[in-house]
Chain A
Amino acid sequence: EIVMTQSPATLSVSPGERATLSCRASETVSANLAWYQQRPGQAPRLLIYGASTRATGIPARFSGSGSATEFTLTISSLQSEDFAVYYCQQYDNWPEYTFGQGTKLEIK
Chain B
Amino acid sequence: EVQLVESGGGLIQPGGSLRLSCAASGFTATRNYMTWVRLAPGRGLEWVASLYVDDTSYYTASVKGRFTISRDTAKNTVYLQMNSLRLEDTALYYCARELDGSLIDWGQGTLVTVAS
- Are A and B interaction partners? yes
Give chain A's interface residues, CB within 8 Å of chain B: 32, 34, 36, 42-46, 49-50, 55, 87, 89, 91-92, 94-102
Question: How many B residues have CB within 8 A of the partner chain?
Answer: 20
Number of A-B pairs, beta carbon distance below 8 Å = 56
B11 interface hit (Cβ, 8 Å) = no
User: Of A43, A50, A92, A99, which is within 8 A of B46 by CB?
Assistant: A99
Q: Provide the bound-state CA to CA distance between A85 and B43, in Å.
A: 13
Closest Cβ of chain A: how far from B23's Cβ, in Å?
Answer: 15
User: Of B58, B60, B94, B100, which is within 8 A of A44 by CB?
Assistant: B94
B27 interface hit (Cβ, 8 Å) = no
DSSP class of B's interface residues: helix, strand, loop or mixed? Answer: strand
Is B50 touching A95 in the complex (CB atoms < 8 A)? yes
Is B107 touching A97 in the complex (CB atoms < 8 A)? no
Q: Provide the bound-state CA to CA distance between A77 and B103, in Å.
A: 25
B45 interface hit (Cβ, 8 Å) = yes
Q: Provide the bound-state CA to CA distance between A37 and B108, in Å.
A: 14
Tell whether A96 pairs with B60 under 8 Å between CB atoms, given A43-B94, A43-B107, A43-B109.
yes
User: Of B47, B107, B108, which is within 8 A of A99 by CB?
Assistant: B47
Give chain B's interface residues, CB within 8 Å of chain A: 35, 37, 43-47, 50, 58, 60, 94, 100-104, 106-109
Tell whether A95 pairs with B100 under 8 Å between CB atoms, given A43-B107, A87-B44.
no
Residues from chain B with Cβ under 8 Å of A34 in the complex: 101-103
Taking CB as reference atom, which chain B residue is nearest A99? Answer: B45
Is A97 touching B44 in the complex (CB atoms < 8 A)? no
Is B47 touching A97 in the complex (CB atoms < 8 A)? yes
Tell whether A98 pairs with B47 under 8 Å between CB atoms, given A34-B101, A43-B94.
yes
Most chain B CB within 10 A, of A43, A50, A87, A100, is at A43
Closest Cβ of chain A: how far from B35's Cβ, in Å?
Answer: 8
Tell whether A45 pairs with B106 under 8 Å between CB atoms, given A98-B47, A99-B44.
yes
Residues from chain B with Cβ under 8 Å of A97 in the complex: 35, 47, 101
Is B104 touching A55 in the complex (CB atoms < 8 A)? yes
Tell whether A91 pairs with B108 under 8 Å between CB atoms, given A44-B94, A96-B47, A101-B44.
no
